[in-house]
Structure 1
Amino acid sequence: MNRRYLIALSFLIGVTICACAGGGVTETPPVFLTSPQGNRVEALAMTTARANAAAIRLRDGRVLICGGTATGQVGGVLSSAELYNPDSRAFTGTGSMTVPRAGQTITLLRDGRVLLTGGVQNAGFRSELASAEIYDPGAGTFSATGSMSVPREGHTATILRDGRVLIAGGSDNGIHTLDSAEIYDPSSGTFRGTGHLHQPRIAHVAALLGTGKVLIAGGGRGGMPGGYISYDTAEMYDPAAGSFTAIRAHMKSDRVGAAAVKLNDGRVLIVGGKSGRRMTSRLSNLSSLTPLNTAEIYDPEAGAFIRTGDMSAPHYLATATMLDSGNVLVVGGWTIRGPIVVGMRDADLYQPETNRFSQAGQTNVARLTNTATLLNDGEVLIAGGIADKALVTASVEFYSPKQHRFLMLPETGASTE
């Protein structure tokens, strides 16, 4: 499933990049730590600054981080990729993707390979991609696989029980929203069509349920009068029938750019996003949608959406990560500072047993469209994104559930002792 992710939605990030001052975002300077002796030590960071990248934990515990944009300018989208090794606490480059991609989906296949689909290859003058590729962790290389029937960004990718991957919705040109869906078969390396969504959707969420069906919820539709419509509707994909069915129950709020995680009990937590029900006059069109601090649960047994407690802050385009404890960490998102869109430092922790959120402290660096990946040791790697001055950062930090805080580490080989 693409989440993870958060998952980063380039359809919406285009607005962020256009809203930033100075003609586009650029890389942040290095972050330094201070040792007990007062020495300044450069903090651990990725090899490249990245926002709207894709990340996933591999079977051996390493984390693949690929693509994204380094500057938010035309030509700033990256084809490069890197690996984080938890044993050595270091980032190293790996093979480059076949084309630059930002906002692509990323899915771990049953055989340990990684599927990447769609996204955009330019910022500003965008060019959506129909192509897909496979990363082979053993060889450390990317290779092309079959292409989708249409270019897609802002779509979802959900791995099914049988190992195939459902690709749903998105946009083929940054304006037009798609209702089509297709299935990727790893055994043949090909895509084929599979029914149509009841509503064209972009920036929606998707989750594989215990029944083997896939929940598709929220999102919105572009190209409408006034610029954008956000949804409170949901539907279900049935792999056996190869079709979608509308869900009678409506979400508690319309949500575009939300994040979702399937909980251990099979329910699905949906957090944040933006709503069109409450409008602000600060910006127009898509930007006028209101960021949400609310969340809700989809209960498959009841076929209903249930409101949860509120988060401490609105989280739009945030990441949501399931911890080993079953709690869910929500990090970062969009906020406006003066005339520009920047990242935020707020983080929230959802506890299923209480159905409530509590503050999880603040990240050391503000982040928007960062990645968040659960490591084998239970910590969460938070990497990159757009920081508090609308700059793309290479910085990384770790959320420690044991210490209940975010930590930055010295660069490999350095010491703060």
Structure 2
Amino acid sequence: MAGCVRTGASLLALLSVLLGGASACGSEAPGLALRLRFGLGVGPPPEGEAPPDIAGYRVCVAGPGITGQLCRDFARQTHPEGADLRVPAGEDRTVDFYGYDAAGSPRWCARAVGVEVVRDQTTPVRLFATRCGALTPIRCVDGAAQPPCRQLSVPRAFHTATKLPDGRVLLSGGFRFVEAQSSCDPSCQWDPSSGGFTDGAGSACVPQCRLLVADATADLYDPSVGRVVQTFDLLVPRALHSASLLPDGTVLLVGGVERARLRSDGDPLFVPESFSGGAMAERLAERLDPFLGTSTPVAAAGPRAMHGAASLPEGVVWIAGGTTVRDGNTVGIGGTTWRGDPPAYASFAGETLEAGSAPLLFPRFAPRTVAMGTRLVTIGGAAAPDAQQAGVIAEVYEPETQQVMPLPDPGDPSLDAWGYLPVWHTATPVDGQRILVSGGWLARERTNGPRAAPAFSPRPWTLVLDLGAGSLAPTEPPALLEPRALHAAAGPLEDGEVLLTGGVGGTGPPFEPLSSLERVAVEWSQGRIVEDGEGTVLSLRTPRIGPTATLLDDGRVLVAGGLVDLPVGRTLPEAGCIDADPAAAEEALVSCTAEIYDPTFPRLDPPPTAGLAP
């Protein structure tokens, strides 16, 4: 059966063309109504028109039962009455839109996947068009056409992003602001000559720090309209927590902190405030239903933050490691389990978080946990927020047998090259057997200064863990273009690459906030610069420390939130959120913006024929 496909304008549409017309399908013919919205930053086009750099449009449809693609071109100023693009009815159709310039080069791209074309019906398809092969800001929360504006309901950093079954993304919690007043001695500054922190008299001192405060809301981003469409209340403020998708589409939020101190002495940066005295996020889990906008409490197995989490296919969520408070000190979770402590592993199967019987081989604060089939792989981590340890890079847990396997074997000589385990790194599955680990905080030698322990700094390393290798040993680590930690990763993209975004670099302190991107694959010796189709190097519109990066169903990546700087020991930067008050500094450090990265720059084949310059 064939249906007729149309693109038409709605009240919100910025494009009005027609596919299928009276001569082909009849004036009342059914079809596909495309409703387009464009990203910010192009100048407000008149209502009903596309951005000014579009000379023509191409619309293509592909899917089962269609050989290749069915495409048609339209000039910007034409209204193609009688144009006919007939598409067989069926499920799982992919609709692509390209807006090209007068030279025929695509400038604006949009895609809808999983579209069902129904005979004798008109199916609306919403598309958010972004710059092809580039970065484009998402639309404003309030629907405004142009920045400056808030693109998230509140500033967020070290939040979570969870892609839902319908393709929308839930952005939950995170730090909302950083207090302007320091919670340490403000006279304590980094002294490069001594390699440590000193006060005005030149004596060693405790470094300055600031207090970060978490938020108790969640935003729902809809890729089809290009903006946050709904905001929910959480039961408690939480940041540095985990969020896991359950089979019914609800999201399990576990642990986190309401407040944390931000440090700058080169150790891993965050030290949770006390886990008692009203800081309930660490003790309470909740189950958020993004369809109903409701959240219900879940009994948690003790206070926990900065842990790993992963969902297994049968719907069981496993929580690994993290940090808690013991005898007044913040320590990593794992190894020996003390009475009253959270278990090294915990699982959720519908009602409560329950203790797992398998301990971690090492305490792991700030690890990364990913599910690989029925196995759980926990990578990196530290004994405590201010101390790293040597040990196996990762461990594999088999829930069915309750066996824990080191990865690689503790006697593997490759461990000598790493020494300490990374924290604040990323771990991205690239296929059913391999995980790409990138960057992270690693120990470096300190020969002077007030602290005897090793100092830490971002590293430019990647590591590929191959579960399919007979020895389960990591491969030779390729290198990133620059040191990177506290960043985000998304992938694999269509070509198998992983996108790394933001974070901090340098050998500081102070450390350098990053607005750069790079793409890396397991086969490469190092990362590569991200460029658009014309060879221009891309960068985020603001530095983003602790952002999220989410691979969307259409192959694009949503990059959201993050700190715009680490202000410890220096003055606060310009506001990271448009209506923040830099003087009060409540939101000056935290971004309320988000942007879309389109990883492809298409070559239209055959070349466009409509609307081109003579």
1:51 is the counterpart of 2:157: yes
Q: Summarize deviations over 1:146-205 as a string: whole Å, max 9, x none.
A: 212x21111101112332111111111372111132333333344233221111111122
Relative to structure 1, the CA distance from residue 286 to residue 258 in structure 2 (aligned partners, 3 Å threshold; closer, same or farther) is: farther
Alpha-carbon distance in 1 for matches of 2:158, 2:286: 18
1:12 is matched with: none
Alpha-carbon distance in 2 for matches of 1:123, 1:354: 38
Q: Do the aligned residues in 2 keep the contact of 1:61 with 1:376 (CA within 8 Å)?
A: yes
Structure 2 residue identity aligned to 1:238: E
Q: Do the aligned residues in 1 keep the contact of 2:347 with 2:356 (CA within 8 Å)?
A: no
Q: Do the aligned residues in 1 keep the contact of 2:487 with 2:501 (CA within 8 Å)?
A: yes
Shift of 1:242: 2.4
2:332 is matched with: 177
Shift of 1:98: 0.7
Q: Do the aligned residues in 2 keep the contact of 1:181 with 1:193 (CA within 8 Å)?
A: yes
Alpha-carbon distance in 2 for matches of 1:131, 1:147: 6
Q: Do the aligned residues in 2 keep the contact of 1:166 with 1:184 (CA within 8 Å)?
A: yes
User: Mapping of 1:2-401 within 5 angstroms?
Assistant: 33=41, 35=43, 41-42=147-148, 45-73=151-179, 76-124=213-261, 126-128=273-275, 129-148=282-301, 150-173=302-325, 175-179=330-334, 180-210=343-373, 212-222=374-384, 227-233=386-392, 234-247=394-407, 248=409, 249=412, 251=415, 252-253=417-418, 254-279=421-446, 288-302=455-469, 303-325=472-494, 326-335=496-505, 340-341=510-511, 343-354=513-524, 356-360=526-530, 361-388=538-565, 389=573, 391-401=589-599
Q: Do the aligned residues in 2 keep the contact of 1:33 with 1:43 (CA within 8 Å)?
A: no
Structure 2: 5+ residue stretches without partners: 1-39, 46-51, 53-144, 180-210, 262-271, 276-281, 335-342, 531-537, 566-572, 574-587, 603-614
Q: Root-mean-square deviation (CA), in Å?
A: 2.9
1:17 is matched with: none
Alpha-carbon distance in 1 for matches of 2:444, 2:511: 21
Shift of 1:220: 1.1
Alpha-carbon distance in 1 for matches of 2:462, 2:446: 19
Shift of 1:139: 0.6
Q: Do the aligned residues in 2 keep the contact of 1:118 with 1:131 (CA within 8 Å)?
A: yes
Alpha-carbon distance in 2 for matches of 1:280, 1:63: 46
Relative to structure 1, the CA distance from residue 81 to residue 167 in structure 2 (aligned partners, 3 Å threshold; closer, same or farther) is: same
Shift of 1:287: 9.1
Relative to structure 1, the CA distance from residue 288 to residue 35 in structure 2 (aligned partners, 3 Å threshold; closer, same or farther) is: farther
Alpha-carbon distance in 2 for matches of 1:191, 1:98: 21
2:131 is matched with: none
Alpha-carbon distance in 1 for matches of 2:442, 2:254: 27
Shift of 1:382: 0.6
Shift of 1:317: 1.3
Alpha-carbon distance in 2 for matches of 1:110, 1:268: 24
Q: Do the aligned residues in 2 keep the contact of 1:35 with 1:41 (CA within 8 Å)?
A: no
Alpha-carbon distance in 2 for matches of 1:382, 1:34: 19
Structure 2 residue identity aligned to 1:222: A
The alignment's TM-score, normalised by the length of structure 2, stands at 0.55
Q: Do the aligned residues in 1 keep the contact of 2:429 with 2:492 (CA within 8 Å)?
A: no
Runs ≥4 in structure 1, deviation > 6 angstroms? 36-40, 280-283, 336-339
Q: Do the aligned residues in 2 keep the contact of 1:334 with 1:343 (CA within 8 Å)?
A: yes
Shift of 1:285: 7.7
Structure number with bigger Rg: 2
- Matched residue of 2:288: which SS? strand
Q: Do the aligned residues in 2 keep the contact of 1:271 with 1:294 (CA within 8 Å)?
A: yes
Alpha-carbon distance in 1 for matches of 2:450, 2:152: 33
Q: Summarize deviations over 1:212-231 as a string: whole Å, max 9, x none.
A: 222222211127xxx41244
Shift of 1:117: 0.5
Q: Do the aligned residues in 2 keep the contact of 1:47 with 1:82 (CA within 8 Å)?
A: yes
Alpha-carbon distance in 2 for matches of 1:344, 1:368: 7
Alpha-carbon distance in 1 for matches of 2:360, 2:502: 30
Structure 2 residue identity aligned to 1:82: D
- Matched residue of 1:256: which SS? coil
Moved more, 128-137 or 32-41: 32-41
Moved more, 122-131 or 268-277: 122-131
Relative to structure 1, the CA distance from residue 155 to residue 132 in structure 2 (aligned partners, 3 Å threshold; closer, same or farther) is: same
Question: Percent sequence identity over matched residues?
Answer: 29
Higher relative contact order (CA 8 A, sep 6+): 1
Q: Do the aligned residues in 2 keep the contact of 1:232 with 1:255 (CA within 8 Å)?
A: no
Q: Summarize deviations over 1:355-412 as a string: whole Å, max 9, x none.
A: 54211232121110011111121111111101143711101111110149xxxxxxxx
Shift of 1:80: 1.1
Alpha-carbon distance in 2 for matches of 1:362, 1:283: 37
Alpha-carbon distance in 1 for matches of 2:449, 2:590: 24
- Matched residue of 2:481: which SS? coil
Alpha-carbon distance in 2 for matches of 1:287, 1:346: 28
Moved more, 84-93 or 53-62: 84-93
